[in-house]
Amino acid sequence: MSDLRDLYQEVVLDHSKSPRNFRVLPDASADAEGFNPLCGDQVHVYVTLEGDAVKDVAFTGNGCAISKASASMMTQAVKGRSRQETIDLFERFHRLVTGAAQDPDELGKLAVFAGVSEFPVRVKCASLAWHTLKAALEGARAPVTTE
Ligand code: ZN
């Protein structure tokens, strides 16, 4: 467990310092904003769909290291997946961070976020970008809030 915790800290630090896909997609097919008032995290997620596939995904925003790292890793994890696969992955990720995952390893690199389940207030930080991506895919008009 302590190896996983070290890896978690390393990955969160790396992705929060240099987030991947941190940009606006000017020709996005869908986008949504999310806000976590508990921590002050804000995220704007952009998706470009090609048919049913997530061709490109990016985000901008401000927040704590966990919210940024999670958004960054999310963009890497869902690029190229179908809409349904993306929503399935969101559900598995949510089970992971709430400590309900049967097999964390099936989430690949995202498994490092299993450590979040030990810190309930951080669950919203880790899942904010995912909630926002789901809202974008579902065409939500109102901003997402974790409260
Ligand atoms: Zn946060």
Residue-level pLDDT at 68? 97
* pLDDT for 120: 86
* 3-state secondary structure at position 28: coil
């290291």: which residue's tokens?
65
Instruction: Tell me the CA–centroid distance for residue 142 and ligand 1, in Å.
Output: 21
Which pLDDT value is given to residue 146? Answer: 82
Ligand 1 center to 56 CA (angstroms): 24
Q: Domains, the chain, ranges and CATH?
A: 2-145 (3.90.1010.10)
Residues 4, 114: contact at Cβ < 8 Å? Answer: yes
* The pLDDT of residue 4: 67
pTM: 0.93
For residue 133, the one-letter residue type is L
pLDDT for 141 equals: 67
The rounded Å distance from CA 29 to ligand 1 centre is 27
- Which tokens sit at 32? 């949504």
The answer to whether 51 touches 81, Cβ cutoff 8 Å, is no
**How many other CB atoms are there within 10 angstroms of residue 105's CB atom?**
8
Residue 68 Cα to ligand 1 midpoint, Å, equals 8
Express each pLDDT in 54-96 by its tens digit.
999 999 999 999 999 999 999 999 999 999 999 999 999 999 9
Residues of the chain with pLDDT below 70 are 1-2, 4, 141
pLDDT score at 103: 86
CA of 39 to the centre of ligand 1 (A): 5
> How many A from CA of 106 to the centre of ligand 1?
25
Q: How far is the CA of 41 from the centre of ligand 1 (A)?
A: 5
